[in-house]
Amino acid sequence: EIEMGLPLLAGVEARNLLAAQKLNTEAATKNLSAIEYQIVNSYRIITQRVSALGEHARNAKSVVDFRERLLDVEFKKINAGKSNNRLIYETEEKLSEARQWQLESNIRYRMAIVQKAKISGSLLRDFGLETVENGRPVISESLTRHGGTRRGRNGGEY
């Protein structure tokens, strides 16, 4: 009697592993594509936002300049006896509101610029906290030097 051993499931495990790796690669590729799309879309949106907020800040400055000129005119009128304190007060109030709007506009604009730098990955470089040496990013010594234990706002060490 001759006995022959034939593997009934020859290579099934290897084929299953290969199929699993192909599925993992496909899933990773799709995830990467989704992430790339999100980054590109976020960058496009923040670029538009920076542009719009920059225009908004410029408009606010124009309004402040206009209100300052109006106040100057009212002071000249009052010196000539052609205005009154109520008009001066109202003009100053409107100027104050315009300055508040300008300040808020500038803050929103600058925050959008920081967001854009964050999304583009240049935040640290833009603020001089990172350089590139031999093709590799190098974090500034001021960020890596601790000089002892550092404490956060609530007193906890980090």
d(CA 156, CA 142): 20
Q: CA 43, 48, 54, 57 torsion: positive or negative?
A: negative
What does residue 157 show for φ and ψ, rounded to 5 degrees?
-80, 150
Least Cα distance to 143 among 154, 121, 133, 158 occurs for 158
pTM beyond 0.75: no
- Across the 158 residues of the chain, what is the mean pLDDT of every consecutive 10-residue run? 61 84 95 92 95 98 98 94 93 98 97 91 81 84 60 45
